[in-house]
Amino acid sequence: MHLGFLPVNLEEVKEAGWERPDFVYVTGDAYVDHSSFGPAIISRVLEAHGFKVAMCPQPDWHDENSVAVCGEPRLGFLISAGNMDSMVNHYTVNKKPRSEDYYSPGGKRGSRPDYATIVYCNLIRKRFGKIPVLIGGIEASLRRLGHYDYWQDKLRRSILMDSGADILMYGMGELSVVRIAIALDQGVPVSEITDVPGTVYKTRDISSLAGSITLPDFDELLKSREKYAESFGIQYRNMDHITGKVLTEKYGENRYIVQNPPMRPLTMEEMDQVYELPYQNAWHPMYDEAGGIPALQEIKFSLVSNRGCFGGCSFCALAFHQGRCVQVRSHDSLIREAEKMTQDKDFKGYIHDVGGPTANFRHPSCEKQLKYGVCPDKQCLFPRPCPNLKADHTDYVALLRKLRALPGVKKVFVRSGIRFDYIMADPDRTILKELCEHHISGQLRVAPEHVSDRVLSLMGKPGNDVYKAFVREFDRVNKTTGKKQYVVPYLISSHPGSTMEDAIALAESVRDMGYMPEQVQDFYPTPSTISTCMYYTGLDPRTGKKVNVVKDPHEKAMQRALIQYRKPENYRLVKEALLSSHREDLIGFDRKHCLIPPRELNNTRQKGKAQGTRKDHQKQPVSKTKRKGHKP
């Protein structure tokens, strides 16, 4: 048995002195004992409460005995597809297989099945029969009720129905899983554990659920996209632990899925405890020969300082998973982790990130939220900052200063998302000055996503004027520091609401920026986001208004190509888009106005034109997106 790691087979269970584990955790990711990996957090939290947990990472889904490598657990199985939805992990937005899996040994794909949570549950049912099965993680969390599945292009039932699991834990599950574990340990049948916040369960009788909200039946959702948009809107408005109601969704004659309100957020003390558990901060040694787990290399020397996000982007699942209430760790806890980090033999003096879903959120959006919950029908930053918003970076600035002053630390980077509109809402520009002087290296990545105010409104993002004002302020601050640094925007193509006219306007904005973005994301309809609901229904679930949706692959390709119009391989798509929109004025040799020349040039000459842009932006490092803390 490898010292410090949890058992991964029956032999190691015996070496640990256990007759058998209390729980076996089956996960679609390789076993990495680090606090950015959901299975690591949940297993360590259970361990801290006295439970014995064994790990079963990436079992062979062709062999039912592969889920029995640690024996039969005393209390039940925990199942997660991993830190990502297995379908997002496997396929690009074009539904083509990805070439790599950063959560598998050596980055090789093929170590987990499609719809991994369902497959693992069925394996366990086949091998062990009626044993408690608890599911969680991002895949289960965002598929907990009837949902649109992009890969099959249809509505699917709650994952509880298809997996045969007993309980689903959604969101951040530390508190929920401990309550369930204690109940099972006390002999409570799993079918009677129905009152835990942050959980979903099946039942045939909802007569006792006073005050619950009845969602449209699943059969209604199949018949009517309007009903699905209505149901999703209700779900979205009930995602707060203070104001959220019990939701029920009917299947067939008398089967129901019941969603309890969300679990309360962790306190600062609880967050500290969770992130200071005895993680090994390493992949299991059994992966050494394969070269380890690439995903760990991305985040090993990063600090998770918060979770939750009140940003409210329509295309992001955070509101449905981590929630809108920001939770933070204390400065002391983060400093202790950083000091420990500096003792690692591989540490080179650079802390790669200090943040979370949104790096510069370090407290709830307003005091009112703590007592009354987040506003169900209002956003904190959109369309303009709420008058009650507390825009204050004092705490975050103080934290960054403490971290960069630590012995052995050369530089502290901030690489997770920065909300530029939140910075602009803060009258004190100290945070921007600190970022420019100490925490970026040449480039600051932010996410305006688009330039069309109509599209931005559907995205839940601020108007383009806010982004322009931020860029001006960023440039002003850099002039005072004497540094040549640039804002690098993330952009999304073909988001619901985006017309070809909007895509051309975005291309013109890119032209005026003076360089071609390297990172462009074609809109990806992942489960349980407002934008995905728009994509499927053609309706905004918040307002019921119709939304233009581009689904034709060729039109989507044209919208994406426009953003990177200087790439020689995009020439024909760009020209077709401009001609079809009667924008021949953008075809010509006037480089200040036109996007492309009248005729396709050879690759050498075309590349030469592309290279005639700002040199500072020629080689932009690719940042692999990571989601921290997804777990049951």
> Where are the domains positioned within the chain?
10-196, 301-441, 444-455+469-622
Q: Containing H/E element for 350?
A: strand 350-351
SS3 assignment, position 144: coil
Percent of the chain with pLDDT over 70: 95
d(CA 195, CA 343): 44
Confidence check: pLDDT of 628 > 70: no
CB 141 within 8 A of CB 81: no
> E strands along 133-279, which residues?
133-136, 147-149, 154-156, 167-169, 199-203, 213-214, 247-251, 255-259
Neighbours of 366 (CB within 10 A): 17
Query: How far from chain centre, in Å, is Cα 391?
Result: 23
Q: How many residues are recorded in the chain?
A: 632
Give, for 295, the enclosing helix (H) or strand (E).
Answer: helix 294-299
Bridge partner list, 491: 449, 520
CA distance 310 to 325: 6
Query: Options 3.30.930.10, 3.40.640.10, 3.30.750.200, 3.30.70.141; which CATH number does 444-455+469-622 get?
Result: 3.30.750.200
- In terms of Cβ atoms closer than 10 Å to its own Cβ (0-12, 13-18, 19+), residue 461 is buried
Report the CATH fold assignment for 10-196: Rossmann fold (3.40.50)
Which of 530, 562, 561, 529 has its CA nearest to residue 545?
530
Pairwise pLDDT comparison (611 vs 563), residue with the higher score: 563
CA dihedral of 34, 332, 374, 469, whole degrees rounded to 10: -90
Domains 301-441 and 444-455+469-622 share a fold: yes
Give the pLDDT score at 262: 96
For range 8-22, the mean pLDDT: 97
Lookup: tokens for 38: 């959901």
Per residue in 285-322, pLDDT (tens digit) is 999 999 999 999 889 999 999 999 999 899 999 888 99
Which DSSP state fits 256? E
Bridge-based pairing of strands 520-522 and 247-251 is unpaired
- How much is the pLDDT for 500? 97
Q: What are phi and psi of 350, to 5 degrees?
A: -115, 120
Q: How confident is the model at residue 180 (pLDDT cuts 50, 70, 90)?
A: very high
Please state whether beta strands 23-27 and 76-80 pair in parallel, antiparallel, or not at all (unpaired).
parallel
Residue 19 CB coordination number (10 Å)? 9
Distance CA(506)–CA(450), nearest Å, equals 6
Q: Are 558 and 499 in contact (CB under 8 A)?
A: no
- How confident is the model over 71-114, as pLDDT tens digits? 999 999 999 999 999 999 999 999 999 999 999 999 999 999 99
CATH (residue range 301-441): 3.30.750.210
**pLDDT score of 591:** 86
User: Rounded mean pLDDT of 386-407?
Assistant: 97
**What number is the average pLDDT over the span 201-230?**
96
- The predicted pLDDT at position 616 comes to 37
Per-residue pLDDT, averaged over 254-271, amounts to: 97
Q: Are strands 255-259 and 199-203 parallel, antiparallel or unpaired?
A: antiparallel
What pTM was estimated for this model as a whole? 0.92
Q: Per residue in 39-62, pLDDT tens?
A: 999 999 999 999 999 999 999 999
Give the Cα separation of 357 and 318 in Å (integer).
8
**Model confidence over 606-617: pLDDT tens digits?**
444 443 333 333
Q: If we measure between CA atoms, which residue out of 393, 304, 315, 397 comes closest to residue 356?
A: 304
pLDDT at 602: 61
Instruction: Please compute the mean of the pLDDT values over residues 112-131 and round it to a whole number.
Output: 97
For residue 624, is pLDDT > 70? no
